[in-house]
Structure 1
Amino acid sequence: MLRKITVAIASAGLLFGLAACGSGNAESDDELTVGATSVPHAEVLTYVKDNLAEKAGITLDVKEFSNYEQLNPALNDGQLDANYFQHKPYLTESNQKTGQKLEFVAGVHLEPLGVYSRKVENLAELKQGATVALPSDPSNLARALKLLADNGVVTLKPGAGETATEKDVASNPKDITFKPTDAAALPRQLDDVDASVINGNYALEGKLNPAKDALALEKAEGNPYVNGIVTKADKKDDPQIKKLVELLQGPEVKKFITDKYQGSVLPAA
């Protein structure tokens, strides 16, 4: 009899433990963990977390990353429910390179790519043989070359688009040397080159104001490089992800972006 009672108590304890574990998993499922680089992505998410998420029924956990190259692996490995740092061309290149199948859910903002210099005040002043630093990742390298071409620094071969490299430069009148550099390091190395093409978020982190300091700046209209929310295919239609997207595309966040960044970051149309 004593043995039967002991077994019954142990079984009950096991069932209670399983129920408790199940409850813990349900609670964690309600929390949305989103990875982001600091400026402006994590700042935008923190605004949502502090001002909008609770009312919308979202428990938002913002994980800030200093190295954007870690964000897609962290999402693919299940450490994150979504990430917010990239545009579609970068995601396409990343998926092709890694074999991952991450999906772009919705655009939130554009960080205009800009050309910056501490040695010249306009692009026409670039000297013969000048060195211009560019983001080294393929999608942003192509984007930087297009910005230089749009502003008459170089011309690109017909058909050169989102995969353009230095080999697609058709003419280079000033014999510029291109220096592909890790995007995050570009602001720190600005004194070492004649000019640098810098992503908007890293320009802001480097205390540069794209709207005021850039010698040339991307236009927002028709721009394919809008940054947005990315997740795994099986979570694309998750109700929590959809709620987050609604908030990020809503009027409160658009006003926050417009007021805080004063044209250095633009809400997606």
Structure 2
Amino acid sequence: MKKSIVFSLILAFALILSACGQSAGSSQKTQTLTVGASAVPHAQILKQAVPLLKKKGINLKVKVFQDYVLPNQALASKQLDANYFQHVPFLDLYNKQHNTNLVNAGKIHIEPFGIYSKKYKKVTDIKDGATVQISNNKSEQGRILLLLQSKGLLKIKSGVDPISATLKDIDNFKHLKFLQPIDPALLPKAYENSAADLFAINTNFALQAKLQPKKDALILEGASSPYANIIAVRKGDQNKKAIKELVHVLQSKEIQSFINKEYKGAVLPVSE
């Protein structure tokens, strides 16, 4: 009788320990990362990363932005854990202008920048005095000028860092007329309305407008561009495990394969 009671107590105690263990395991919460992103291609790429991160105990939430200012404001004010929409020159300029301390946590992809035209089918056809519509994103000016220089349409003055070059830093021997800069998101509409001869359009907005950069761009940036799009975080957060996992997944072969297949050269993966 006593042996039966002792055995029953041991069994009950073992069941209690097992239940406690299950309760503790079930109470462990999945860590949530909220990342701000442009709709195309950034949010689309992040969507592919959701199941991969879930396996690592990370719940990825994506908040889509339609401009280039609010994602950094939201990150700096801790409404986001990270954002994914910009390149380093843009981030550096934003930090300087807004006295913020956001940093690069890892390079993910390159969106080859394009010059588009409804008027010209070949660069050699571009006439003196052609009008050029650019965005009001100052960090892109050097990028645009480099593209135009690559086809002999202007020359950046000697001694000037091309990345930080402005319209004041060029030898404009073809007398190109640069129109009043406009918001980057408005460039595809201006292109459709043929408001200028040449249009410098960010690839994410070109894709949203159903343009195919490799097919439609008159001039297209190459894979060696220094303008890789990054995961940006607040300083110090780049060392957090969840952020490192996010970058690792976005640089994985699975995501690289998706980028290559989905965008067919309009977006190029980068690995570090």
Fold shared by both chains (TM-score > 0.5): yes
Partner of 2:246: 244
- Counterparts of 1:1-269 in structure 2 under 5 Å? 30-49=31-50, 51-160=51-160, 161-173=162-174, 175-179=175-179, 180-190=181-191, 191-221=194-224, 223-269=225-271
Provide Cα deviations, 1:153-205, integer angstroms capped at 9, x if missing partner: 111101222111110111332x1111222111111101211110111111111
Q: Residues 114 and 214 of structure 1 are in contact (CA less than 8 Å); yes or no, is this contact kept in structure 2?
A: yes
State the secondary structure of the residue aligned to 1:103. strand
* TM-score of the aligned structures, taking structure 1 as reference length: 0.86
Partner Cα distance (1:57, 1:159) in 2: 50
Report the Cα distance in structure 2 between the residues aligned to 1:97 and 1:150, rounded to whole angstroms: 29
| Matches of 1:138 and 1:132, distance apart in 2 | 15
Give 3-state SS (helix, strand or coil) of 1:104's partner. Answer: strand
1:135·1:144 contact (CA, 8 Å) conserved in 2? no
| DSSP 3-state at the match of 2:147 | helix
Hey, what does 1:11 align to over in structure 2?
none
RMSD, aligned α-carbons: 1.4
- Any unmatched runs of 5+ in structure 1? 1-25
Structure number with greater Rg is: 2
Give the structure 1 partner of residue 25 of structure 2: none
Distance 1:107 1:135 in 2: 23
Q: How many residues align?
A: 240
Q: What runs of 5+ residues in structure 2 fail to find an aligned partner?
A: 1-27
What letter matches 2:154 in structure 1?
Answer: V
Provide the C-alpha distance between the structure 2 equivalents of 1:41 and 1:172, rounded to a whole number of angstroms: 38
Alpha-carbon offset, residue 68 of structure 1: 1.9
Aligned counterparts of 1:159 and 1:231: Cα–Cα separation in 2? 33
How far apart are 1:57 and its partner, in Å?
1.5
CA change 1:147–1:93 in 2 (3 A) is same
**Aligned residues of 1:142 and 1:163 also touching (Cα < 8 A):** yes
- TM-score norm. by structure 2 comes to 0.85
Q: CA deviation at 1:135?
A: 2.3
CA contact (8 A) 1:116 1:198 kept: yes
Letter aligned with residue 164 of structure 2? T
Distance of 2:235 and 2:102 partners within structure 1? 6
